[in-house]
Amino acid sequence: MFNAKLSKAINEQINKEFYSSYLYLAMAAHFDAKALPGFARWMKAQAAEEWEHGMKFYEYLYEVDSSVELKGIDTPPVKFGSPKEIFEQVLEHEKSVTASINAIYELAKKENDPKTELMLHWFITEQVEEEKNARDILDQLEMAGNNSFGIMFLDKHVLGARKGD
């Protein structure tokens, strides 16, 4: 039987990953409404990626003969600020996800569960990338400032160039 504490923590992480997907989809809707299709495209790709992360945890629970217990997903905000403010929110959100994954890793160590520790290595590495991406975009938005041409350049050539992951 799989460790009950780890099962509970991973089920909670599934919910967090699915919420992340909803949050980024809400941000995509905001950008679509603001005629920033590149920002919206980036957020839609991010939403799909977060859903995949939730499914990785989902599949893992079945691989270790545990059960998935899906809970309700919180409603994300509807209104957002400027692109820079949104990416500040993205970075803070990703930091909270990183902290949550790190806590599960520490629990796996405490519970002497090397297979869960090993599975979490992928997520830990992924979170380094997630935070770096948000910081990089924030830096570029900082350089663009309130210059609409800079925002449009980022929309078309940076965020809009993201391939669907």
Q: In the CATH hierarchy, which top-level class contains the domain 4-68+78-159?
A: mainly alpha
Q: What is the pLDDT of residue 160?
A: 85
Q: How far is CA 162 from CA 36, 50, 69, 124, 156, in A?
A: 14, 15, 33, 22, 10
Q: What is the pTM of this model?
A: 0.94
Q: What are phi and psi of 109, to 5 degrees?
A: -65, -45
How distant, in Å, are the alpha carbons of 10, 12, 55, 141, 155 from that of 60? 9, 13, 8, 37, 36
Residues 97-145: pLDDT tens digits?
A: 999 999 999 999 999 999 999 999 999 999 999 999 999 999 999 999 9
Domain boundaries, the chain: 4-68+78-159
